[in-house]
Chain A
Amino acid sequence: MKNKTPFGIAIFALLLISAMFAVPSARATWYTPPTEKLKFPMMVLSWDVLSTDSGEAIAQQLKKVGISIEVVATDDSAMYPRLYDRDYGIEEMSYGYSAYPSHMFYRFHSSTDCANCGQDWSFRNATVDATINEMLKTTDREKARSLMWQVDEMAAENVPYVPLFLGDEYHPFRKEWTGYTVMPAGPISYLNWLTMPNIHSTAGKKDFVIAFNSEPETFSPMAATTGRSLFYSQNIYDTLLAYDENLVPIPWMTTGLPEFSSDGKTMTFHLKPNLMWHDGQPLTAKDVIFTFRYIVDQSAVGANAGEIIKYFESGEALDDLTAVIHLNQPYVWATEAFGTQYIVPEHIWKDTAMVPKYDWDQTIVESNPKIAVGSGPFMFSAWVPGEYVKLVKNPNWWMTGHPLIDSVIFRKIDTESARVLAIQKGEVDTERYTLDPSMIEQVKSNPDIVVTHAVDQWDYILAFNNKSPPFDDVWVRRAIAYAIDKDDVVKRGALGYGTVTESYCPGSFFPFWHNPNVLTYSYDPDKANKILDEQGYLDIDGDGIRELKGYVAAYEQKLQEQQQAQMNQYLTIAAIAIIVILAGVYLVYRRRKKA
């Protein structure tokens, strides 16, 4: 055997490793702003068909107004660093979950204009900042809404990005099931508190089976950060408040919405009497205060942890039913942030670290059965890793008589085609997430299955790098906004399974916060053309792509130079021709003379 082989490999590996070290430290700049024409690459997310197909549709529409776009399908590993470094001009993808009212801050506030801080479009506007700051400190929801609408209007005027559409949610149910609530994000989601307690079968079935494509990562609501894990928390743990079908907060474990002090810094929750944990212990205001304090002390990462850590100052239980929370400053979304936090039992969690210590012989839940003790509508019953999770009805839940089913089983089925077959076969009653668009028509045609339709939370937008020319010119952004036919984008990008959006908070998702008077850029290519003409983005050389503003002078000079060069060429040719003719004439003349 050649003993040199390992050393050859070693040298090769060393070269490879040094190359790898070089890659992250010195990432080459990808994007150069255009210098002549309105012609630039647009990043779309390579693995998301909706993103790439919408990108192609947009490119074709913008071609009609003289803007040339090359759609570049980019993987997230390349896309996010470029977004964070603002190394792009224009990009189109879904900002999942973000059109949530409390996230307005992360879309428009200047302080979120940094790498991985929220907005990727370098939008800075002092008036917008001041309005958002004022809104955050308001406790009057009507006033907060009017401030939010102002931000929405300013955003529409400045177009830091163009809202495109929300993906749609199609949910299949076996037809014997009823009692579910169809609302934004669908009948089964972590925004939906109403479906699980009320769903029941007209055929007398008592076990509800949901096909789920992934496993719980943890049952701890303090460590879970994904929808897939938090959905278990949603069923096992209870919250002070919930949402109704229009996403307006409603009392849940409490007798009413929280009361605020006049300075907005103190909020009081009144619990319903006789609440109980799954292990039979009474649930009191002490547990509520403990939960918030625990999140702050342990730097938990669960769903609302970010806001709670930022605003929680202190809290006390006045009596068993009254929880008083002091905020370090008034916060407009305090009701939602504290109200929808999963409350955990103090008697179990007081000695438990956030991430349960691992018992080497057993799985997480089995080694820490107490970690899944909540007060929600369902109690933890069994988890067979890789197969299913079973939750059973909590007979002592405060909503008497509910849930109407005895148990809910989350069955792990990995592929969408197998999940749909399982539903058609009747082994499974529904699935956790939306139907794959390619399956919707087929499933709808099955008489045993009812398909519900709602708007989903995937918010597709077309974002500009607001600092980079020519997108630093608001008129270019506006012209592009007018030139986009959103209905066509939905039709071609999302196969028609999408809902057009016109502002930050779409009316189809958060009707209360939606501003109906916001400026919408309805599809008008003539107007887009007119704006670009007026602003001096003219197509001078007639190739169908507009030149940049101020490019005229440079272009004329170039044209002159070209003409000069051409003239010189003609002169040279003429001179050569004359010489040749003269020489010919001379030769002919000499011959004649000789003859």
Chain B
Amino acid sequence: MRDYLIKRAVSALVTLGLAIVLNFFLFRIMPGDPTRTVTGDFRITPEVRRALVHQFGLDQPLWVQFVLYLQNLATGNLGVSFQYRGTPVVAIIFGKRLLNTFVLMGSSISVALIIGITIGTIVAWKRESKFDVSVVVFSLMTYSMPVFWLGMMIILIFGYYLAAIPIAGTITVGLTYSNWFQYAADYLYHMIGPFVTLTLSFVGFYLIIMRDSILDVFTEDYMLTAKAKGLSDRKILFRHAMRNALLPMVSLIAVEVTYLFGGATMTETVFSWYGIGRLIYEAVVMADYPILQGIFFVMSILVIAANFCADVAYAFLDPRIRY
């Protein structure tokens, strides 16, 4: 077991090192010139633009930039943003944006998971019924719908024609709150649109995976045993079938953890939700390398850590796993 842990840890560290290296080069070969995108004013002369290139350190050879990047990373410094002059990347990432993304993604993923798992189990039990067919069709529809289109339709119908939800933002402009509850209410009211969009876009995928996974379990011998023992349908379904079918869902959830940090760029943009996904989009457009490097660095740490934990957990849970 100790050997196994050490091996996993070493390979996680190697992967992290590779991620750090790739992280740097990936964005340099990306289209876009940061000094062009941050000088969008007609009065800016080419001289000033060249001064900016110097300020950003982009006039240095690539390997010098790379060494500086590694040095900074070693001291926990993710650099300074190009577009938000003088603001450290750490402060931009770990702030309100992360909180907004975390709340939005966390709630929509968990609600989608709960709905997906329960409804998926039920339709698997009642497979080939009208309910099953309509749920599967609905799931395939929401799953294959472009999420930005879905969001825009929700804004158009519920935000504009019915005026039931706000069009943009996380709070009402100019409102002052007398207490914390008022703020939370306003915030949640603004979250309805993006929350519904994301939940709809996630739920179909979870539901269908869950349904298939249960159908697989149904063919196992122990299901027959359970039936032969005379257990009730409900017990068979939820105690025996669902628990076993949840295993693939657990690995799925481990993958989805990155969304909690990375956010959903499309949905956040459509609803002007001030989150990390939106930040990634902005940084790509503005060729703001430090921000992109910072986000992807944190994301790769999260993914690697989540995978490491999953590996370890599997080793403990499943006696068949021995390397």
Contacts and interface: CB of A to CB of B under 8 A. Distances in A.
Interface in A115-170: 116-118
Nearest to A78: B31
A75 B22 contact: no
Nearest to B19: A13
Contacts of A421: 155-156, 159-160, 167
B74 interface: no
B51 A299 contact: yes
A226 B167 contact: no
Contact of B33 (A9, A77, A209): A77
B83 A387 contact: no
B303 interface: no
Contacts of A21: 62-63
A227 B41 contact: yes
A126 to B, nearest CB: 22
Interface string B9-42: 0010011001001100100111111001011111
Contact of B38 (A96, A225, A384, A427): A225
Interface string A203-236: 0000101000010011010011111101000000
B15 A6 contact: yes
B38 A425 contact: no
Contacts of B31: 75-78
A24 interface: yes
A418 B270 contact: yes
A270 interface: no
B234 interface: no
A353 B49 CA distance: 20
B169 to A, nearest CB: 5
A223 B46 CA distance: 16
Nearest to A216: B84
Contacts of B123: none
Contacts, number: 191
Chain A interface residue count: which class? 35 or more
A183 interface: no
Contacts of A347: none
A305 B39 CA distance: 13
A97 B41 contact: yes
B87 interface: yes
A501 to B, nearest CB: 15
28 contacts: A1-B323, A9-B15, A17-B21, A20-B29, A76-B32, A106-B45, A225-B40, A225-B44, A226-B38, A227-B41, A228-B40, A230-B41, A301-B51, A303-B41, A307-B45, A310-B47, A340-B43, A385-B96, A386-B169, A388-B173, A411-B173, A412-B168, A417-B152, A418-B155, A418-B168, A421-B159, A424-B160, A427-B167
Interface of B: 7-8, 11, 14-15, 18, 21-22, 25, 28-33, 36, 38-52, 55, 62-63, 83-88, 91, 95-97, 100, 152, 155-156, 159-160, 163, 167-171, 173-174, 269-272, 274, 278, 282, 323
Given A1-B8, A96-B42, A112-B46, 9 more contacts: A10-B14, A16-B25, A97-B43, A207-B174, A223-B86, A340-B43, A358-B86, A387-B170, A413-B167
